[in-house]
């Protein structure tokens, strides 16, 4: 059961003048229980031919197919299996190019929504997918507008329903990289927390830690702005309390809270970026195949420790970190100085796996750190972390081989 309670934080004052910023958002956001029932109605406005991208476990997708067909729409279905990889993406594109759909409806976790976003983005393009991928490809801007897409998440974690990128695995390079364009934002994001009810505990833990990370990192980001600050300051305590509660028992109200925090995280990261947790997670996930959310959960506290140690001379950034530590301390009922220890103890107690598949030696860990330096997420970290600091982060997230 949750130990925290409502946390009322004082305002943060560190801008001399109002900061300039711009916001990118989905075209429309529908949030609330029952909102998924309108999916077919909204999808029918995209055209007569719909591509439904779904996960195997997304039971609501079966109803969506029936509802779409009842409206006389032509429906083709692709089942996403795990995190999307470039070879599978290329296979799907080849099968669809001769007769592309008018729009895409993605129902599933973050990986399924990313697959739907990637297909919607790449089907109209004249060049090969690799040309548009960051880091391992040319990073070319999309030549044509993506197909319209509606996203319905069935897990609370990635916030992919509100982001302008899709994460794609590239096995040839053992990396996960982004396909990114502001036009990839969904035409409509439908967040119905009822679709997350009964989500398995291990999935809830990993995806929930991703959601938590994605409201903490944008808040600490070097690119944070007043709007993302407001969203994150509201969502961080919600995510903590909800995830703590859901590890003990199922609770629909807490599912609502976590789904809301995940949505806010998607909006925040799309506008303020992330940080070293995601910079490392993209590389390590590509090398090990470990689930993204579990990686974020393992890296979160070590990165917060590293950032806190490196931020001592930056007053504004230190105030932000201090606020996060006070929220953690409030949730776990400990003094602020013990907040990170308490958070790590809680994560360990929930059974989150360590990075130990296979057991990475020091040379492997050093490669991860070197490759992570090229990640776009690293650019938003509130302070530049050197090789030694990042090695300490990775070492803390890996299982002790003597255990």
Averages of pLDDT over runs of 10 residues in the chain (403 residues) are 56 62 94 97 97 88 96 96 92 96 97 97 96 91 98 96 95 89 97 96 97 98 95 98 97 98 98 96 90 95 96 85 97 97 97 81 91 88 94 88 48
Backbone φ, ψ for residue 25 (5° rounding)? -140, 155
Of 328, 219, 200, 349, the C-alpha closest to 272 is: 219
Note the pLDDT of residue 402: 43
Quote the pLDDT of residue 375.
83
> What gap in Å lies between CA 159 and CA 151, rounded to an integer?
10
Cα dihedral sign, 217-300-170-384:
positive
| Predicted local distance difference test score (pLDDT) of residue 83 | 86
The residue extents of the domains of the chain are 28-194, 200-398
Assigned architecture for domain 200-398: Up-down Bundle (1.20)
Residue 170 vs residues 1, 167, 179, 275: alpha-carbon distances, Å: 40, 10, 12, 21
For residue 3, the Cα-to-chain-centroid distance in whole angstroms is: 26
Q: Are residues 300 and 216 in contact, defined by beta-carbon separation less than 8 angstroms?
A: yes
pTM of the model: 0.92
28 in Cβ contact with 132 (< 8 Å): no
Element (H, E) at 167: strand 165-170
What local confidence, expressed as pLDDT, does residue 356 receive? Answer: 74
CA–CA distance, 280 with 31 (Å, rounded to integer): 31
The H-or-E segment that residue 203 falls in is: helix 201-220
> CA-CA distance, 286 to 302, in Å (whole number)?
20
What is the end-to-end Cα distance of the chain in Å, rounded?
A: 29
CA gyration radius for the chain? 20
**Peptide bond preceding 175 in cis form (omega within 30 of 0):** no
Instruction: Write a three-state SS string for 222-243.
Output: CCCCHHHHHHHHHHHHHHHHHH
Under DSSP, is residue 163 helix (H, G, I), strand (E, B) or coil? coil
Topology (CATH) of 28-194: Rossmann fold (3.40.50)
Give the C-alpha separation, 371 to 136, whole Å: 11
């Amino acid at each position: 059961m949750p130990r925290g309670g409502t946390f009322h934080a004082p305002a943060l004052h560190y801008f001399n003048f109002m900061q300039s910023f711009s916001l990118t958002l989905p075209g429309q956001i529908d949030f609330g229980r029952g909102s998924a029932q309108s999916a077919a109605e909204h999808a029918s406005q995209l055209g007569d031919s719909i591509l439904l991208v779904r996960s195997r476990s997304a039971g609501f997708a079966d109803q969506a197919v029936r509802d779409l067909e009842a409206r006389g729409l032509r429906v083709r279905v692709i089942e996403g299996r795990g995190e999307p990889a470039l070879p599978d993406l290329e296979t799907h594109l080849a099968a669809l190019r001769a007769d592309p759909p008018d729009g895409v409806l993605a129902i599933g976790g973050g990986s399924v929504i990313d697959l739907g976003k990637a297909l919607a983005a790449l089907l109209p393009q004249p060049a090969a997918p690799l040309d548009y991928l960051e880091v391992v490809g040319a990073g070319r801007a999309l030549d044509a507008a993506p197909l319209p897409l509606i996203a319905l998440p069935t897990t609370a974690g990635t916030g992919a329903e509100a982001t302008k990128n899709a994460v794609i695995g590239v096995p040839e390079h053992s990396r996960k990289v982004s396909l990114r364009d502001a036009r990839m934002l969904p035409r409509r994001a439908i967040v119905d927390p009822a679709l997350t009810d009964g989500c398995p505990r291990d999935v809830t833990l990993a995806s929930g830690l991703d959601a938590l990370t994605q409201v903490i990192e944008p808040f600490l980001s070097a690119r944070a702005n007043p709007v993302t600050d407001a969203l994150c300051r509201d969502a961080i305590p919600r995510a903590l309390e909800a995830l703590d509660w859901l590890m003990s028992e199922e609770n629909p109200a807490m599912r609502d809270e976590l789904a809301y925090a995940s949505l806010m995280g998607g909006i925040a990261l799309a506008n303020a970026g992330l940080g070293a947790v995601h910079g490392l997670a993209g590389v390590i996930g590509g090398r090990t195949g470990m689930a993204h959310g579990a990686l974020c959960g393992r890296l979160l506290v070590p990165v917060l420790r590293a950032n806190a140690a490196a931020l001592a001379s930056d007053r504004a950034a230190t105030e932000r970190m201090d606020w996060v530590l006070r929220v953690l301390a409030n949730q776990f009922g400990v003094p602020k100085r013990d907040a990170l220890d308490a958070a790590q103890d809680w994560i360990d107690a929930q059974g989150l796996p360590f990075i130990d598949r296979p057991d990475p030696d020091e040379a492997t860990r050093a490669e991860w750190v070197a490759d992570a330096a090229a990640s776009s997420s690293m650019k938003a970290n509130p302070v530049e972390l050197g090789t030694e600091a990042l090695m300490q982060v990775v070492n803390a997230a890996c299982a002790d081989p003597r255990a």
